Each structure stands twice: as C-alpha cells, then as structure tokens.
Structure 1
Amino acid sequence: MEREQLERLLRGGDDTSSAALAALRADASYVVWDGTTSPKSLATVYGRRLRHTLRRGIETSGLARAVQRLDLCSQPVRLGQIRTADGSWIFMLFLDADGSMLVACTGVRQSQPDSARPDTC
C-alpha cells in the first residue's frame, strides 16, 4: 500500500487515527500485510491486550474502541502497523479486506529500551 493511500484512510478519524497520520507524515515506518483474518479473533486478542495494558499502566490510545469495533465487524480484516520514527509508539491498523476502509486504529506507547534506562546499581 502506498503511503498516500494510507494517509487518506487515516484522515478525518478519531484522535488515534490523527496521531497515526501525524506519525506517518513525520517519516514513521509502516507496513500493511497481505491476507486477512477474523475480526472476532482479533477482538479477543486485543481485548486481552487491553486488560494487560490496564493492569500494567501502559499508555494506549483507542484500544478499547478498537476492540469494540472489531467485535462488531463481520468481514475479514487486514492488518497494518505504523511505528513512529523515534519508536515511542506503535499503531495497529485494522482495514477492510481490500484495504479501502479503516475499521479501527489503536496505539500503544513503547517502553524505553534497557540501554536508555539509567543504571540503578
């Protein structure tokens, strides 16, 4: 998928889609994988991730909404991912089968790499 096409899909969405769009425009890397998967199975997986992030205090954006939208979706979805240039956020994109519509978008803040943490000895 071309970057411009992905930008069009992210326009006019919620705050999470807007953040993903801003990242994409700021040279984030991205991928949209071939193939589709069941939105119900993704709703289950991302529902677990939601509970995990809440327990651990990990910052997310749009995760609960994405789980709801996937649970309501009846058609297979394609997955995509945007990683911010600094690696601080990863956005997961859920697209319809032909990649012409954004079903849902969620973002998860990434923890600092171990090498960036100060020594605590």
Structure 2
Amino acid sequence: MTREDLAAMLGGQTTACGPARDALRSGGAFVIWDGLVPANQVTHTYRARLRITQKRGQQTQALAATVNILDQAGDALLRIGRIDAADTSWTFMLFLNATTTAVIACTAVARPNPASSRSSIDPG
C-alpha cells in the first residue's frame, strides 16, 4: 500500500482520521501489519487502553469512538496499521477491513515529550 492510497482512505470515520492523514502526508512513518485479527479481540484491548489513558490523563483523539466502532464490528476480521507523526507527537492506530481497501476506524494517543522524560541527572 502506498502513502497516497492510505491517505485517500482516511476520511471521516473518526475525528482522528484528518490528523492521521496530515501526519502521513507530512512524512510520518507508517505500517500496515500482515495478518488478520477479530474486531472483538481488538475491542477488548482498546477498551482497556481507553480506561488507562483516562486514568493517566493522557491526551487521545477519538479513542472512545474507535472502541464503539470496533464493538459494532463484532467478529469481523481486521488489519491493523500505525502512523507515527514525523515530529513524534502522536501515534495513530488504524483499523482496516480484511481486504485493506477501507479504514474502519482511527485513533491517536499523544506521545510523551522526550525532553520531559529525560533524567535531570547529568551522568558525566
């Protein structure tokens, strides 16, 4: 799949799709993994991620909406993809149909600022 093919599939499925498309077109790295996974299995994982990010106060985009879409997909088989923003500020997770011809849902999680997570102790 090409960058432009994927960008064309990122429409209005969730509010994270537009920013994901922008990240992709701005040079963000992307991957669509081989293999299929049942939507209900992914729903369980992302429902847990929703609870964890809410508890931590971590910024997300369309995570609750994505969980709802995945829940409605039942046992349909999906492919999973990822886009990392070029500035490393966001990671977008994509859920595509089994034939990789449509994005079903998209969510994003803000990545921690690398500068703020470094130790203030100088090892030298």
Report the CA distance shift for 1:13/1:67 in structure 2 as closer, same or farther (over 3 A). closer
Report the alpha carbon displacement of residue 29 of structure 1 after superposing the two structures with TM.
Answer: 0.4
Indicate conservation of the 8 Å contact 2:92/2:109, yes or no.
yes
Quote how far apart the aligned CAs of 1:15 are: 2.4
Q: State the TM-score, normalizing by the size of structure 1.
A: 0.92
For residues 44 and 77 of structure 1, the distance between their equivalents in structure 2, rounded to whole angstroms, comes to 14
Structure 1 residues 75-102: Cα deviation after superposition (integer angstroms, max 9, x where no partner):
1000000000011100000000011111
Identify the range of structure 1 (26-35 vs 9-18) with the bigger mean alpha-carbon deviation: 9-18
Which position in structure 2 is the counterpart of 1:18?
Answer: 18
Identity %: 39
Distance 2:49 2:5 in 1: 28
Aligned residue number for residue 70 of structure 2: 70
Is 1:109–2:104 an aligned residue pair?
no
TM-score, normalising length: structure 2 = 0.90
Any unmatched runs of 5+ in structure 2? Answer: none
Matches within 5 A, 1:78-117: 78-113=79-114, 116-117=115-116
Q: CA RMSD in A?
A: 1.6
Residue 48 of structure 2 corresponds to 48
- Stretch deviating more after TM superposition (12-21 or 27-36): 12-21
* Aligned partner letter, 1:79: I
Query: C-alpha distance in 2, partners of 1:105/1:91?
Result: 7
* Unaligned ranges ≥5, structure 1: none
**SS of alignment partner, residue 98 of structure 1:** coil
Give the whole-Å Cα distance in 2 for the aligned partners of 1:120 and 1:2.
43
Q: Is 2:37–2:77's contact at 8 Å kept on the other side of the alignment?
A: yes
Measure, in 1, the Cα distance between the counterparts of 2:37 and 2:56.
28
CA-CA distance at 1:12 after TM superposition:
4.2
How many corresponding residue pairs? Answer: 119
Task: Write out per-residue CA displacement over residues 11-70 of structure 1, whole angstroms, 9 at most, x where no aligned residue.
Answer: 344421000001011000000011110100100000000000000000000000110110
